[in-house]
Structure 1
Amino acid sequence: MSSTRNQPAAFERPGSKTEKQGTTMTGAQAVIASLEAEGVDLVFGYPGGQAIKIYDALFDSKRIRHVLARHEQGAVHEADGYARATGRVGVAIVTSGPGATNTVTGIATAYMDSVPLVVITGQVPRGVIGTDSFQESDIVGITMPVVKHSYLLQTTDELTQTFREAFHIASTGRPGPVLIDVPSDLASEAMVFDYPDEVNLPSYRPTYKGNVKQVKQAVSLIRESKRPVLYVGGGIVSSGATPELTELAETMQIPVVTTLMGKGAFPASHHLNYGPIGMHGSKFANMIMTESDLIIAAGARFSDRVTGKLSEFAPNAKVIHIDIDPAEIGKVREVRVPIVGDLKGVLGNMVAELAKQAVPPAPASWVEQADEWRKRFPFYHPGVGDRPDEIVPEIVMSTLSGMLDPEKSVVVTEVGQHQMWAAQHIQRETPRSFITSGGLGTMGFGFPASIGAALGCPDKTVVCVAGDGSFQMNTQEMATAAIQNVPVKVLIMDNRCLGMVHQWQKLFYNERYSSTLLDPVPDFVKLAEAYGWQAAQVSRPNDLVDALEAMLCAEGPYLLDVVISRDQNVYPMVAPGKAMNDVIGAIDVAVGAVRTLGDDEQDEKGGRR
């Protein structure tokens, strides 16, 4: 099977046979030559005893730049951020034992969000595997649930074929991480380098072309529908299907709502984009989904953070589910028309079939209703909960959004309240311009991922929006950014607490703040200066714009510590276990631009439904 057959353009293999073809070399040298043959020019990692031979071979490479992380987890997140921002396969190299086990969180993060990675781990010599030798861990067994595939090399004869397969598997079908475990004695053995152009994996043949009959069935459902909605996830980004999605939405006048991973898949400025849905999505987007009679799920997986109480989720809607991974279809929600295939081709075929059958657009009254809800239930309204002497998180995010060139910037987030504020208020126009840990929700992901994104997109401004809790998970990577002169900008929403858990404790646990209050340590400005960064703190609303301008205009890495109140909560919110139309804290301009309570709280307090 050809390695690029039916692949999306974003994952076409950039490498080719090199001048090293047919050269005698060691296994370690063949590892590096294989990476070069795949077109890899940047890897992230951390050396150690069982990986030292690979690193020695890397020393001689004229094509590959190595970025030395300060922790193996940071290295994998950096490779992940690079992959998400560029669409290419990210690569990390680490040693055995604790070096390998430190990668697990990063690998799991990439797996949950379908990110193409190849992680190379050193391993103890083959003769002592399984004897609990020094710095040995069964990393293949440990990572089995969170990789797309894994290899433990046994001979040099399989080395180049393994690397060829690994990059192919990581980047095709539903992308994901692949692990290659390289015993150190194998890295010393002599071999003849022969890198294959083709991959033959009879058991792995992703379906790219959607079934024609099912596409026609989907078109019939669209024709019958009066209130359709396009529910869009990260699969649109992976497939590069934004043009086809836009054409389908415009042709049929269908509202588009997005998951966290789908942000940027459809332009924020488009009048049919109704933004994020789910636990911290807008009330109007959740109402669109709830009242729809047809859900066209495109590269989305009906996550629990989207559906809420599943039995009450979009109760009157039929479902068309399009995904390249057949395991996702019907896993959570019953599907009327399943279509397995690549979104770019499937959506394009649907548009063509709709035109062929002259299917009219959805009734204008549906979009008019959606617009009415959008006006009535905005994400933010001046004066609601504002305190003139405090910085308001929503204003920080919307101000930052207005200062960034949407075509020349990438926003990366950590995980927590700040992540949700960023998703709600930072507008993105293009795919791969908003990077976040959606599936695993990994605190400590965003900052190292922003380093990888900045190295992958040196012509773009990269801003990491972080919380004071999550940023401290991988602060050691400040050294990586400083030494590599990566001009990443870190904006910390500093509330001296673990904000999202603190919010849950406030709303659902009678304000019993168990282990969520953080003392004001460290001094982030001094910490940044210790790493050679520029930094500043801002605590007054009137100083915010100047502080943001200073951050964005600075050369090199910069940290801005934005002081906000612990009492600031992310609204609107759907409580755990509640239906998506039972929203806490949504703003309703029809009753004076006040925040409304959820159904249960309103019943208890005698409020309106």
Structure 2
Amino acid sequence: MNKNKIRLTAAQALLRFMDQQYISYDGTETKFFKGVMGIFGHGNVTGLGEALENDAGELVYIQGKNEQGMVHAATAYAKQKNRLQIYACTSSIGPGALNMVTAAATATVNRIPVLLLPGDNFACRQPDPVLQQMEVPHDYTVSATDAFKPVSKFWDRIERPEQLMSSAIQAMRVLTDPAETGAVTLAFPQDVQAEAYDYPEEFFMKRVHYLERRPPVKDAVERAAALVIQKKKPLLIVGGGVHYSAAIQELIAFAEAFGIPIAETQAGKSAVAWNHPLYVGGVGVTGALAANRLAKEADLIIGVGTRYSDFTTSSKSAFQHENVQFLNINVSTFDTVKLNGIQLVADAKEALISLKSALEQRQYRSAHEIETIGALRDAWNQETDRLYEMELQEGLSQTRVLGEINRFVDPRDVVVCAAGSLPGDLHRLWRCAEPKTYHMEYGFSCMGYEVSGAFGVSLAEPDREVYAIVGDGSYLMLHSELFTSLQERTKVTVLLLDNHGFQCIHNLQRGHGSRGFGNEFRYRSEDTGLLTEGYMPIDFAAHARSLGAKAYTASTPAELQTALNQAKGEKISTLIHIPVLPNTNTSGYESWWRVGVPEVSKSTDVLESHQQMQHDIQSAKTI
């Protein structure tokens, strides 16, 4: 065994270790860590900060402007790279660390790897309490970084420099696990970061992590095939796992071989082109009418790489056939047991190939008629065209704006979104022609992801135009990495649809008996004390220009087309402020989303909504 030692601080050792990590997938080797995003404070500047300044190797350092925003950017980068390359993120202790918790949850819910390195209290406990330290009288081992435990897939606190070795290797195990990946948090006390240790040279040798496709078990394939051949009207639901396993061609071949229509989740969208004859659009609460009607009639749902969120299943009410069953293809056992499904635990590509072979041997063919699928597709395309071309005298509708944008962008351009009413409209209406052009964070639907995410996508795809499609509410919540994109000369185009507030929740509120309360950006009334006076005017274009970005305002279709052309010609990040009419988004299409409606209220409308909720619950599955 190599007994040579290298004396380094724990922070220097971690960076040197990270710089030697590689991932191998289908024979292609990729350096796993691109770099580190960070904001320095007293808890990391003299430890990790010093190491990044003087001993970073090939790791690139990017200066964040908000800790949550920079982790969103790192998450988006990893998602766009199909989880094969990532950034780590570092912060100081206290508020800097806690700012990353929301983004950690976003990464974990979406199964995206990100390494978080928050500073922590002094391990020696001598300067106690240190600035920004949480003091917990009943448990002195607790610090702010303990808040990462429930939102991380792996958590550790490095209290001695030699602990780094086993912890770093365990961190890599989780970061490169397709089923168990997510946020990994290594809490790093600030004194330990700067403490030196004689690390064995072998710790810094090149280490390749092999992302090997999990093959399906033969008996599991046979059970799956035996189920499928009993069914006449199956429906494929495509999740994000199809992208991560690079199984798009196998999915399409499977669908074509047996005449099975293809619906998609938010994470699965863009795997199949919108004009494919078996493509029927989004399914569930934000789904298209074609997919939702087929879901109701399906006697078998074949979920591929999906975690079956309530939006995908319409709160378990989307599937109405009396004998409907579920075949769940997923690398994660956790996801395959959902909805009492038959499990096929395997890599999506390997599973689809094996199941296709088994079904061909049995000469299976679904009972779907291509003419019926085509009629549903045609009807939905006509509805999309109607919404995309909607003319309103009062101003621009949200769907008209999306239509103008969808027709303008190049098929290779990437759109990024996350929260509000826009994800529903995009899932239903947006027409994708190529894979990885639709980047939606809808696992956590985290407001503020959009601008940061677009920056991360642009880092990952510098040869593509990247558009952040964002509402005014989400933009106001977090837009700081727009400034970072300018600093890095990494262009994003922000398409800001301004409808005067949190209109998605305003619509939900009014749809369940409320007159609307607390969700619009209005002045407070001196008479009633409520936020009911006129809309607050905000010049978002001027705000973007103040940061150094280019900016335009577009209030008509013609102005929008001009602004889109001008933005495409810009070399730096650009914002287009687009005022839209509230309540001009899509909704419904034979879907239902369960929310809690009060049984007791002074409002008769609320009481009626409660009764409707009780009725709708009866149509939902209970497992």
TM bucket (normalised to shorter chain) is 0.7 to 0.9
What residue is the counterpart of 2:377 in the other structure? 374
Aligned-pair distance for 1:398? 2.6
Alignment correspondent of 1:100: 97
Deviates more, 1:346-355 or 1:510-519: 510-519
Percentage identity across paired residues of the two chains: 25
Aligned to 2:472: 468
User: In the alignment, which residue of structure 2 is the partner of 1:554?
Assistant: 570
Distance 1:424 1:108 in 2: 26
Instruction: Give the superposition deviation at 1:50.
Output: 1.4
Alpha-carbon offset, residue 31 of structure 1: 1.7
Report the equivalent of 1:74: 69
Matched residue, 1:84? 79
Match of 2:332 in 1: 325
CA contact (8 A) 1:293 1:318 kept: yes
1:511 maps to 2:515: yes
Match of 2:42 in 1: 49
Matching of residue 168 in structure 1 with residue 168 in structure 2: no
Contact kept? 2:108, 2:151, Cα under 8 Å:
yes
Give the deviation of 1:42 after TM superposition. 2.7
Distance 1:64 1:99 in 2: 22
**In 1, Cα distance between equivalents of 2:471 and 2:127:** 41
Residue 204 of structure 2: which of 195, 198, 215 is its match?
A: 195
Pair 1:427–1:167, CA change in 2 (3 A): farther
Q: Is the CA contact 2:503–2:519 (under 8 Å) kept in the aligned structure 1?
A: no
Displacement after TM superposition at 1:493 (Å) = 0.9
1:533-566 CA-partner distances (Å, limit 9, x unpaired): 1001111233222222222222110000111111
Q: For residue 273 of structure 2, what is the aligned residue in structure 1?
A: 267
Alpha-carbon deviation of 1:312? Answer: 6.4
Q: Distance in 2 between matches of 1:346 and 1:49?
A: 50
Aligned-residue CA RMSD (Å) = 2.7
- Tell me the residue number matched to 2:312: 306
State the shift of 1:391 in Å: 1.8
Query: 2: distance between equivalents of 1:195 and 1:430?
Result: 40
Please say if residues 418 and 493 of structure 1, whose CA atoms lie closer than 8 Å, have aligned partners that are also in contact. Answer: no
CA distance in 2, matches of 1:444, 1:521: 21
Given that 2:86 and 2:114 are in contact with CA atoms closer than 8 Å, whether structure 1 keeps it comes out as yes
In structure 2, distance between residues paired with 1:442 and 1:129: 39
Which amino acid is 2:222 matched to? K
1:223 aligns with 2:217: no
| Structure 2 residue aligned with 1:30 | 13
CA-to-aligned-CA distance 1:275-306 (integer Å, 9 cap, x gap): 11111211111111110111111111221112
**Amino acid in structure 1 at the alignment position of 2:378:** K
Asked whether 1:441 is paired with 2:417, we answer no
Q: How far, CA to CA, are the matches of 2:334 and 2:437 in structure 1? A: 28
Change (3 A) 1:376 1:429: closer
The CA deviation at 1:135 is 2.3
CA distance in 2, matches of 1:182, 1:369: 59
Asked if 2 retains the 8 angstrom alpha-carbon contact of 1:296 and 1:321, the reply is: yes
Residues 509 and 569 of structure 1, relative CA distance in 2, 3 Å threshold = farther
Tell me the amino acid that sits aligned with residue 159 of structure 1.
Answer: L
Change (3 A) 1:154 1:220: same
Question: Secondary structure in 1 aligned to 2:386?
Answer: coil
Change (3 A) 1:156 1:196: farther
Residue 380 of structure 1 aligns to a residue whose secondary structure is helix
Counterparts in 2 of 1:127 and 1:309: CA distance versus 1, 3 Å: same
Match of 1:391 among 390, 393, 396: 396
* CA gap 1:140/1:325 in 2 versus in 1, 3 angstroms: farther
Aligned 8 A contact 2:310 2:593 in 1: no
- 1:90 Cα offset (Å): 3.2
Deviation (angstroms), 1:93: 1.3
Question: Matches of 1:246 and 1:481 in 2, distance apart?
Answer: 37
Q: 1:371 to 1:132 in 2, by over 3 A?
A: farther
Give yes or no for the alignment of 1:251 onto 2:268: no
Q: Deviation at 1:259?
A: 0.8
CA distance in 1, matches of 2:568, 2:424: 22
* 3-state SS in 2 of match to 1:126: coil
Report the counterpart of residue 294 of structure 1 in structure 2. 300
Query: Which residue of 1 is the match for residue 621 of structure 2?
Result: none
Name the CA distance, whole Å, in 2 between partners of 1:240 and 1:139: 38
Determine whether 1:117 maps to 2:114. yes
- Between stretches 77-86 and 393-402, larger displacement belongs to 393-402
2:348 matched residue in structure 1: 343
CA distance in 2, matches of 1:309, 1:403: 35
Alignment of structure 1 residues 598-609 onto 2, 5 Å: none
2:291 pairs, out of 272, 285, 289, with 285
| Shift in CA distance, 438/83, structure 1 to aligned 2, threshold 3 Å | same
Cα 1:207–1:326, aligned 2, differ >3 Å: closer, same or farther? Answer: farther
Give the Cα separation in 1 of the matches to 2:404 and 2:509: 29
| AA aligned opposite 1:46 | I
Distance 2:580 2:244 in 1: 35
The runs of 5 or more residues in structure 1 that have no matched partner are 1-20, 579-598, 604-609
| Alignment TM-score, normalising by the size of structure 1 | 0.85
Change in Cα spacing, 1:312 to 1:253, as seen in structure 2 (3 Å) is: closer
In the aligned structure 2, how far is the partner of 1:110 from the partner of 1:433? 19
TM-score, normalised to structure 2, is: 0.83
**For the structure 1 residues 41 and 567, does the alpha-carbon distance in structure 2 shift closer, same or farther, using more than 3 Å as the test?**
closer
What is the CA–CA distance in structure 1 between the aligned matches of 2:76 and 2:537, rounded to whole Å?
27
- 4+ long deviations beyond 4 Å: 129-132, 196-200
Assess if the C-alpha contact under 8 Å between 1:406 and 1:427 holds in 2.
Answer: no
Matched, 1:540 2:556: yes
Contact 2:120 2:190 in 1 (8 A): yes
Give the Å deviation of 1:313: 2.8
Of 589, 593, 599, which residue of structure 2 is paired with 1:576? 593
Could you tell me which of 583, 591, 614 is aligned with 1:567? 583
Letter in 1 for 2:150: P
Match of 1:472, SS state, is helix
Distance 1:263 1:311 in 2: 21
Residues in 2 aligned to 1:312 and 1:427: alpha-carbon distance in whole angstroms: 23
How many residues align? The count is: 554
Does residue 156 (structure 1) correspond to residue 167 (structure 2)? The answer is: no
- Quick one: which of 452, 457, 462 aligns to 2:461? 457
Change (3 A) 1:433 1:139: farther
Q: Which segment drifts farther, 185-194 or 69-78? A: 185-194
1:385 & 1:130 partners in 2: Cα distance? Answer: 65
Distance 1:169 1:483 in 2: 32
The structural deviation recorded for 1:320 is 0.6
Question: Which shifted more, 185-194 or 95-104?
Answer: 185-194
Q: Following TM superposition, by how much is the alpha carbon of 1:70 offset from its aligned partner in structure 2, in angstroms? A: 0.9
Q: Is the 8 A contact 2:425 2:585 kept in 1?
A: no
How far the C-alpha of 1:402 sits from its partner, in A, is: 2.6
1:352 Cα deviation from its structure 2 partner: 2.6
Structure 2 unmatched ranges of 5 or more: 22-30, 135-142, 523-534, 596-610, 616-623
CA distance in 2, matches of 1:551, 1:208: 44
The C-alpha deviation readout for 1:8-52, integer Å capped at 9, x for no partner, is: xxxxxxxxxxxxx95322111112112211232332111111111
Letter in 2 for 1:525: A
Whole-angstrom distance in 1 between the partners of 2:592 and 2:261: 25
